[in-house]
Structure 1
Amino acid sequence: MQIASRLRGWPAVKSKKTQQGQALIYGLFVLMGGLAALFFLFNTGQLSAEKTKLVNTADAVAYSAGVMHARALNFQAYTNRAMLANTVAIAQLVSLSSWIRYENSLAAFGSSTLNPKFLPFYPSYYAAVTGSRVSFPLVQTGTLEALEVASDDVNKALQSAQSLIYAGLPFARAKVMQQVVDANYQNDGSVTLDLIPLTLVDFLAFSRRYTGDGRTRFKEVALKSANFDSFIPKRSWTLVGFYGDCNFIKRDVLTRRGGTELIRFDEWKAIDSLSEHQWVPSDSLDIFCSANIEIPDGWGGQSGSNGISTLVDADPTHYDYSTVVNVDSTAAAFATSSSWNYSGIPSFYDLSDTEMTDTKEKNDPRLKFAIRLRRPIDQTMTSEGRSAIKQSSSPSHKLGLNDYHAAPAGGSEMVAVGASEVYFQRPPTQDRQNIYGKSIGKPNEIGSLFNPYWQVHLIGSPDSIQKAQLLQGVVSP
């Protein structure tokens, strides 16, 4: 009975033994799938890290170039303002020298003004006599001229600095951009840097140097700035005497005229004159004193010119009409005027004509700049590149890694594009609704190289991406 019972249980035992080890086959398939997934996860992670690093580097390169652009534009603006300040200083020095010469001549030849009919002028005459002893040595010793020459030399140096910045920026920019790339990929393979010509408006075309008659804008700004000092454009008054020497009805007049003018682009000219206009009889029978004569009492002149000083100024409005009001004393001022060497209104850099007349961006000029970084796939830390984990070289064991190719735009490179933009904007605490702009009907301040408010930020530029694709020979959808 026991033997029979054992025989009847044999098939069940045998069946259990034949089923052992079948789960191992399934486990091997799961393990292979897990390994493949782990491989894809590793490769995708490496690819994402490489792409992120390349994009961040591209942005850093583009931003660094934008910072250089903004700083260069702000440097041009600061130097323009410095040259403007020196130009105004030269106008003031020329005016001061002319005034001192006038005081000196008044002290020597203006004693006729000590007439009771000009009693209010007595203090001015005595001040001229006393002041000329103190101030005239400034002219005689050449102190004022030395200051003028120094200001002019500074302007020359600033012009040279502007030209060096303008011409040298592309080379310095290329060096800095490459340094940024090298710093991000030190001992980590190679990356190639290319510029993307978005438009023809790169830094060298965004601004330009204005010379010759193109200095009109600087001349206008210089005159506007100089004339804020009321001493420069007009030094005039009229004193009517208490009576006339010929009769007590027609009173004699003492006229003071003077001012400083910028003639063309290369000469500051200052003239000061004082004359008594006296009524006299035209003949022995003229009891009404119908003739008027001029008695020069004081005169002075000073010029700063690039070449020969103006000897005859045909513009009657200059020097507050001194040439037509005080004819004789003005002629004496021209004759005794001296001339300092002056190189003229400086050449300067400002936005190009294209940027100044472009209304596409509503008079808001912007300098866009884009670069492209190319990293060969064999330089990346993926299985296709320098990673120690690689796919099998046997075609029958490849895991379809090409589905995760690192250069979707085509070719054998990973590509990233970065773009920056330089724009004009005052700090948030300052309003662009400026008083001068309102006075000329343009309340919103337009960017120029006379105000150092150029800033930079990164931008997303579809144009740069499209041009990068075209450079790779890819047709955009």
Structure 2
Amino acid sequence: MQPHRGQRGQVLVLGLLLAGLLALAWLRYFAGGQVVAAKTRMVHGLDAAAYSGALVQARTLNFLAYLNRAQLAHQVAMAHLITLGSWAHFGGTQAGRLAQGNPPAYLIGMLFGPAHGQAYLSAAAATGMDLQAGSGGPAGQAYAAHESFVHDYARGLARSLVRDLPDARMAAIQAVLRAHYPEIPAQDLQPVLSADAWPGLVRFHPADAPLTTLVRDLAKLYRFLDPRDHTASSPWVVSARCPHLRHELRRRGGTALDEQGRWQAGDTESFHALRSNKWVGCYYREYVMGWAWLPAGEGQAMAGEHVDNPPENFADQDFWRWVQAATEWDLLGRADNPLGNSYALANRQPWASRGLPDYPDVAPGQGPQAAAGFVLTLRLPSQAGMTVHARSAAESLFSRPRRRADGRDEAPNLFHPYWHARLAAPLFQLPGD
């Protein structure tokens, strides 16, 4: 029996249809694979770009922290310099008193011991130093250089860093994307940055009480800036009217930061000779042995008792009569060197200062989780003729490498360089994602 010739070739038709379906599926699968590969490549590149942008932010924030700390260091240096200037002026004026023998060194050594007498004699080596203690001397010039750095250079640099950060961040993002897509023209790689938290993160604060307190606390770490107060008493009874009182040698001095953030330093030393008479009884006659006061400007007030324009000597009027007529001092006061303060005021050496500068810090209200985050979006055409887009997010956050020694949590700030970068996609999911 012979086969039907009309049935020949039917399987071929079905085979061709199946081959066409297989080819269409393969093409579809290939195109889909291209899209997936393009999407994966874009996600990796965009994540790297976003992380690089967050890293630029973190480095800028850490640099601002180091800059703030550098400004604190300059303030401590300025405190040391104005103290040196005060010591130089004090040494020069004491050398002048030593040369006049008012009081004589042998009397100081006899009443208060050889160490004090020798210290007074050593002032001879400081002759003329009071002439170099002004703002034009070596210490004053160094002080002015620190002042200029703090107010002119560092302040301007901090503001430039904050202002230019968005441009620097975008430049880093685009550099990473250009390296990731070398075949695409740079003008076609235009990522869109949104949900940017940078503009509200950093604020410049005027010099305030917290900063003043911080500078004062730092100064307490340096013994050179400690109060220079010492009182020596003679062991001998002086007057039967007041057998409990003695001759005193009072050294007073200190370095201080006023409420406007300006340094001042002063030093005095006086021999307070115990005297008595029938009109006022016992009193202290002050013989000034050295003085200095370096304010930060003409308008800065002096601490301690003092008067303007004190007499250079008391040849025309008894000391106690002048005190009663021209001052409100207690003739038996034992706390200060009021006449020495008055001489220091009359011979002051002002060092110009603009006080503490404003400084960058995390803006108030940011909370303990303050971070500078942003979202990055990129769209590019794929080889399959489709547009591929991806989104990535990153942030710069404050995180200590280890907990504080006191166990407390530390709010984000720009005084500790503990800012880090990380990808943070879950933090920036937008509607429709």
Q: TM-score, normalised by structure 2?
A: 0.82
Q: Map of 1:213-252 to 2, 5 A cutoff?
A: 214-246=207-239, 250-252=245-247
In the alignment, is residue 167 of structure 1 matched against residue 151 of structure 2?
no
Deviation at 1:327, TM superposition (A): 1.2
Deviation at 1:233, TM superposition (A): 3.9
Structure with bigger gyration radius = 1
3-state secondary structure, aligned to 1:414 = strand
Deviation at 1:349, TM superposition (A): 0.6
Aligned to 1:415: 389
Aligned to 1:7: none
Deviation at 1:174, TM superposition (A): 2.8
Q: Which amino acid aligns with 1:57?
A: G
Aligned to 1:367: 372
In the alignment, is residue 61 of structure 1 matched against residue 49 of structure 2?
yes
Partners in 2 of 1:449 and 1:66 — Cα distance? 16
Deviation at 1:324, TM superposition (A): 5.4
Aligned to 2:21: 33
Q: Deviations over 1:172-211 (max 9, x none)?
A: 323333333344334347454222226xxx2221011122
Q: Is the 8 A contact 2:257 2:264 kept in 1?
A: yes
Aligned to 2:313: none
Aligned to 1:193: 191
Q: Which amino acid aligns with 2:249?
A: L
Counterpart selection for 1:346 from 333, 357, 360: 357
In the alignment, is residue 293 of structure 1 matched against residue 285 of structure 2?
yes
Partners in 1 of 2:236 and 2:408 — Cα distance? 52
Query: Structure 1 residues 203, 76: closer, same or farther in 2, change over 3 A?
Result: same
Aligned to 2:202: 207
Gaps of 5+ in 2: 307-332
Partners in 2 of 1:136 and 1:295 — Cα distance? 19
Q: Which amino acid aligns with 1:40?
A: R
Counterpart selection for 2:64 from 76, 93, 100: 76
Q: Is the 8 A contact 1:281 1:290 kept in 2?
A: yes
Q: Is the 8 A contact 1:66 1:456 kept in 2?
A: yes
3-state secondary structure, aligned to 1:466 = coil
Q: TM-score, normalised by structure 1?
A: 0.75
Counterpart selection for 1:432 from 391, 394, 403: 403
Aligned to 2:39: 51
Aligned residues: CA RMSD: 2.8
Partners in 1 of 2:305 and 2:20 — Cα distance? 98
Aligned to 1:269: 264
3-state secondary structure, aligned to 1:97 = helix
Aligned to 1:407: none
Q: Is the 8 A contact 1:233 1:261 kept in 2?
A: no
3-state secondary structure, aligned to 1:443 = coil
Query: Structure 1 residues 451, 134: closer, same or farther in 2, change over 3 A?
Result: farther
Partners in 2 of 1:266 and 1:446 — Cα distance? 25
Q: Deviations over 1:55-93 (max 9, x none)?
A: 223212211220111111111111111111111111111
Deviation at 1:336, TM superposition (A): 1.2
3-state secondary structure, aligned to 2:425 = coil
Q: Is the 8 A contact 2:403 2:409 kept in 1?
A: yes
Q: Deviations over 1:5-27 (max 9, x none)?
A: xxxxxx1xx22866654432332
Q: Which amino acid aligns with 1:343?
A: R
Q: Which amino acid aligns with 1:163?
A: R
Query: Structure 1 residues 243, 106: closer, same or farther in 2, change over 3 A?
Result: farther
Q: Which amino acid aligns with 2:371?
A: R
Aligned to 2:106: 114
3-state secondary structure, aligned to 2:112 = helix
3-state secondary structure, aligned to 1:15 = coil
What is the percentage of aligned positions where both structures have the same residue?
25
Partners in 1 of 2:334 and 2:69 — Cα distance? 33
Q: Deviations over 1:301-354 (max 9, x none)?
A: 11234xx342444799xxxxx995211111211221111222221221111112
Deviation at 1:239, TM superposition (A): 0.9
Q: Is the 8 A contact 2:133 2:349 kept in 1?
A: no
3-state secondary structure, aligned to 2:133 = helix
Q: Is the 8 A contact 1:299 1:332 kept in 2?
A: yes
Deviation at 1:100, TM superposition (A): 1.7
Q: Is the 8 A contact 2:304 2:336 kept in 1?
A: no
Q: Which amino acid aligns with 1:465?
A: Q
Partners in 2 of 1:215 and 1:296 — Cα distance? 38
Partners in 1 of 2:228 and 2:83 — Cα distance? 10
Deviation at 1:46, TM superposition (A): 0.7
Partners in 2 of 1:54 and 1:91 — Cα distance? 55
Partners in 2 of 1:193 and 1:315 — Cα distance? 68
Query: Structure 1 residues 35, 455: closer, same or farther in 2, change over 3 A?
Result: same
Partners in 2 of 1:233 and 1:381 — Cα distance? 74
Q: Is the 8 A contact 2:68 2:414 kept in 1?
A: yes
Q: Which amino acid aligns with 1:351?
A: V
Aligned to 2:145: 150
Structure number having the greater helix percentage: 1
Deviation at 1:135, TM superposition (A): 5.3
Q: Deviations over 1:390-428 (max 9, x none)?
A: xxxxxxxxxxxxxxxxxxxxxxx533211112122344x
Q: Is the 8 A contact 1:432 1:444 kept in 2?
A: yes
Aligned pairs, how many?
394
In the alignment, is residue 128 of structure 1 matched against residue 123 of structure 2?
yes
Gaps of 5+ in 1: 1-10, 317-321, 386-412, 470-475
Query: Structure 1 residues 233, 157: closer, same or farther in 2, change over 3 A?
Result: same
Counterpart selection for 1:184 from 180, 184, 198: 180
Q: Is the 8 A contact 2:304 2:338 kept in 1?
A: no
